[in-house]
Amino acid sequence: MTTPFFDFSPASMATLAAADVTRALAEDVGPGDLTAALIDPARHTRARILAREAAVVCGAPWVEATLRQVAPTATWTWLVKEGETCAADQVVLALEGPAQALLTAERTALNFLQLLSAVASRTALHVQAVAGTGTHIVDTRKTLPGLRLAQKYAVRIGGGTNHRIGLYDAVLIKENHIAAAGGVTAVLQRAQALAPQARFIEIEVETLAQLDEALDAGARMVLLDNMDLPTLQEAVRRNAARGDKKAVLEISGGVTLQGLRTLAETGVDRISIGGLTKDVKATDYSMRFQDL
């Protein structure tokens, strides 16, 4: 039986967003918003969310979940849709509803929007850098605790590809696993026997000799870790020589945006980058109210 991959359908994302928002509101609002209580509950207002910088807009399910939970009578219109690029100072969302509730919802909605837009925008930059090479940009498990699925969704919105979701759905054999299990061949055989439900089994290699051993042992996905350019080129050549028994090759380690295209032009299939989700700088959004 194969372990199911997470379902990133709109319905599943709405369910995920609702759960994330519930936790976020408990953290931020707690038993009540003391400051918003200063506003007359009957006061109605219009508001706009605008981007202070160009970005790939991402996070609509979380913004909408926040509004549904805090301001259920509010209405809204997205002026820049999920996955589209906005310009600096462009209004991305127009809102109308109770002023008190919108004020309470403001920070939670913006927190999700700014984080997920940042991930999508950073991913899009990397995807653009390798356009036309056939190489996929892939995320990692270096995510914010509790927000992994949200960030992996944002990677998708930015045009990237998801790696494994967690330790439970795929096997990634690294240096310490190889050492503890007794070598490349031994650990691959053990993985193939013990984890038939895994979506994939991938093994990390650091040398061409390890690559050859992995391919001889039937590896179908290989992570080339911290190899220099000539070694990467030779690895791709050796793998291609295997014909229909070749593996999917992935690069990881020391990857920068500036050197990304050169790496992609070696002919590797995937480049995984922890910085897509780990080192993001939040996109600058603000909410502006009218008729208060």
* Secondary structure (3-state) at 179: helix
User: One of 206, 213, 225, 284 is an active-site residue; which one?
Assistant: 225
290: β partners: 46
Is 174 marked active-site? yes
Could you confirm whether 175 is annotated as catalytic?
Answer: no
Written as six digits, the tokens of 123 are 């991913």
Q: Which of 46, 142, 220, 238 is catalytic?
A: 142
**DSSP state, residue 269:** S
Catalytic annotation present for 225: yes
Which of 23, 43, 174, 242 is catalytic? The answer is 174
Q: Which residues pair with 48 in a beta bridge?
A: 94, 288
Query: Which CA distances in Å does 102 have to 41, 46, 105?
Result: 11, 9, 5
* Candidates 20, 33, 64, 204; catalytic one: 204
155 touches 123 (CB < 8 A): yes
- 278 a catalytic residue: no
Residue in 46, 48, 107, 141 annotated catalytic: 107
All residues at 6 or more sequence positions from 53 whose CB lies less than 8 Å from its CB, including other chains: 88, 283, 284
**Which residues are registered as beta bridge partners of 137?**
271
Q: What is the DSSP string of 122-168?
A: HHHHHHHHTTTS-PEEE--S---TT-HHHHHHHHHHTT-B---SSTT
Asked about 107 being catalytic, the answer comes back as yes
Return the active site residues: 107, 142, 174, 204, 225
